Amino acid sequence: MKIQDIYQAQERLNGTVHHTPIELSETFSAMSGGRVYLKCENLQKTGSFKVRGALNMISKLDLKADTKVFSCSAGNHAQGVAFAASRRGVKSAIYMPLSTPIAKIAATEGYGAEVKLCGDVFDDAQAVAKKECAEQNGIFIPPFDHEDIIAGQGTVGLEILNDLPEAETILVPAGGGGLLAGVAFAVKQVRPDVKVYGVQADGARAIAASFGHAPKELERIFTIADGIAVKRPGDITMNYINKYADGILTVSDDEIASAIISLIERAKEIVEPAGAAGLAAVLCDRYPFLRGKITVCLLSGGNVDVSFIHKIIERGLVSRGRQIRFSVVLSDKPGSLEAVSHVLAKNGANVIAMQYDRVNAELSLNETILHITCEVSGTEHGARVFQALRDADYRIIRN
């Protein structure tokens, strides 16, 4: 692949995909000690960057009216392929893991695709998709391991450099590696001094394990970031990543959840877990070389299932100390609940859930355990609440 391929992809996509905005965040800049910008691919058509690669590849194909394209995806590539196939007037069949959020399934069908659910993870769905594509003489549109796909994703890198020529570091969410490969290649061809890092979830660190080597397959993966939950990166993508990326960073699910809350509260951006990985790396304080830099966090997608987002928010609130969960042992007599509630109210803790447990085997016959969830303003406030309970002679069990 040559840089001309990226520019040609940009011409094909012009007028169809959005040139997404890049926004300075004063809040995240202050938190990181540098200047933090957000490249908002969550505002892209179909809700993620994936439409770029899918549209670039499908636009180059010699398609007939009865041609059927096949693909596999955890959701975002599916929508990109469905959109691109519909524009070309051909049918599409998309294979998705059983764990795919309902919102992504519905959106993919809305773009005209036939959706089939199979397997526990992306890699399982891919195996079935390739098999049935061959049996039906279809055309397979890979989610990341193809140069036309990589070239389409690389147009994001060109936009970043064009809109923010002073950029020093770009953080790219990475699963199979198509976006990271394309952005790293494009950026290094134009501005080799700019650092490009991939960011993965701790529970799906296949590229991190493969970096500097041939692709490695993980035995299992587990993360809330379904968009980057891939057991094995591509051969082609790893070749580009090893050559052009400056490194791979990892973040925990708690850090991703916390970043999502920060994006909602401070930037007013709705971002799916995979898309928040880059900002999570900036805010986690484990990567001091990011501090003080002009950094672009690529928000790769915004297709989060509204029925799942409350779980992500709750996890983020707990990890940031804004929600505390604990249990206290009480005497099983009238007035006990009122007494503990008085301590919580006096110390400004907002109770959002309570549950009695009278059947715990470790309890005396005259005791009960009260499981409590409270909202507090932060870690220090939570610590004051716990100390007040201890001062009132309550035995606390941290959950």
Q: Give pLDDT tens digits for 22-51.
A: 999 999 999 999 999 999 999 999 999 999
Which entry of 48, 71, 258, 300 is annotated as an active-site residue?
A: 300
Q: Could you state, in order of their start, the residue ranges of all structural domains in the chain? A: 3-48+147-317, 51-140, 321-398
Does 300 qualify as catalytic in the annotation?
A: yes
Which CATH number is 3-48+147-317 given? 3.40.50.1100
Q: What is the DSSP letter of 80?
A: H
Q: What's the pLDDT band for 363 if we cut at 50, 70, 90?
A: low
* φ, ψ dihedrals at 19, nearest 5°: -85, 95
13 pLDDT higher than 80: yes
| Burial class of residue 26 in the structure, from the number of CB atoms within 10 Å of its CB (0-12 exposed, 13-18 middle, 19+ buried) | exposed
For this structure, is 258 an active site residue?
no
Contacts of 59 (CB under 8 A, 6+ apart): 12, 84, 88
**What is the C-alpha to C-alpha distance for residues 141 and 149, in angstroms, rounded to an integer?**
9
Task: Determine how many CB atoms are found less than 10 A away from the CB of residue 377.
Answer: 13
Place of tokens 């990543």: 241
Cross-strand bridge partners of residue 331: 367
Architecture per CATH, 51-140: 3-Layer(aba) Sandwich (3.40)
Range picked from 136-145, 217-226, 240-249, 259-268 for highest mean pLDDT: 240-249
User: Does the pLDDT value for residue 361 go beyond 60?
Assistant: no
Pairing of strands 195-201, 323-331: unpaired
* Predicted local confidence at residue 378, as pLDDT: 87
**Which segment of 20-29, 76-85, 313-322, 368-377 scores lowest on mean pLDDT?**
313-322
Active-site choice (50, 104, 188, 195)? 50
Question: What is the CATH number assigned to the segment(s) 321-398?
Answer: 3.30.70.260
pLDDT score for 129: 93
Report the distance separating Cα 107 and Cα 270, nearest Å: 16
Rounded Cα gap, residues 153 and 158, in angstroms? 10
Report residue 362: phi and psi, to 5°: -85, -5
% residues pLDDT > 70 (the chain): 98
Domain 3-48+147-317 and domain 51-140, same fold? Reply is yes
